[in-house]
Amino acid sequence: MAMGIAPGGRRGGKAPPMSEINVTPLVDVMLVLLIIFMVTAPLLVSGVPIDLPDSKAGALKQDNTPIQVSLNAEGEIYIDEQLVPAEELAAKLAAISEARAGEAEGPRIYVRADRRLDFGNVMRVMGEVNAAGFKKVALVSEAGADDR
């Protein structure tokens, strides 16, 4: 009795195992993740559009969520993303300072101002921040100091 041998030298007609890795699914998943990150990354930036000045200083380490006071080109003042009238700024900052006084290092506050804004307006807001009792105040700028 002769046994039948399949054309490839193997019995039973099974295909030989593949020795190659199929990278197509990996590439598909990576492209989908890339698109998701490209779409969501701009949404993570603060909602008040401001043209920040450049600076050579590096980024600060963040331990807790800072408070952001923003001044746009029209001189409107925002605390985080909420519009605050100038006459109510001192009261709002004092309330925030009292509410966050229990933090170990004290509350951090970042002041962001549009580059086209008058320096006097920025200093007035800085004075209100200081009067409210904030000790850790930083001015925010864009990274990379290219002269324009």
Distance CA 47, CA 80 (A): 9
Q: Is the pTM of this model over 0.85?
A: no
Secondary structure (3-state) at 65: coil
pLDDT of residue 117: 84
pLDDT, tens only, 121-147: 888 888 888 888 887 888 887 776 555
Q: What is the pLDDT of residue 99?
A: 78
Average pLDDT, the chain: 79
Q: Which of 25, 49, 29 lies closest to 37 in space, CA to CA? A: 29
Q: Is the model more confident about 120 or about 28? A: 28
Task: For residue range 92-116, list pLDDT tens digits in order.
Answer: 888 887 877 666 566 788 888 888 8
Q: For residues 100 and 136, what is the distance between their CA atoms, to the nearest angstrom?
A: 13
Delimit the domains of the chain by residue range.
54-143
Query: Hey, what are 58's tokens?
Result: 């590096």
Inform me whether the pLDDT recorded for 35 exceeds 90: yes
pLDDT band at 31 (very low <50, low <70, confident <90, very high): very high
pLDDT tens digits along 40-73: 887 776 567 778 788 877 766 555 677 888 888 8
pLDDT higher than 60, residue 2: no
Maximum CA extent, the chain? 104
Q: Which helix (H) or strand (E) holds 70?
A: strand 67-71
Architecture of domain 54-143: 2-Layer Sandwich (3.30)
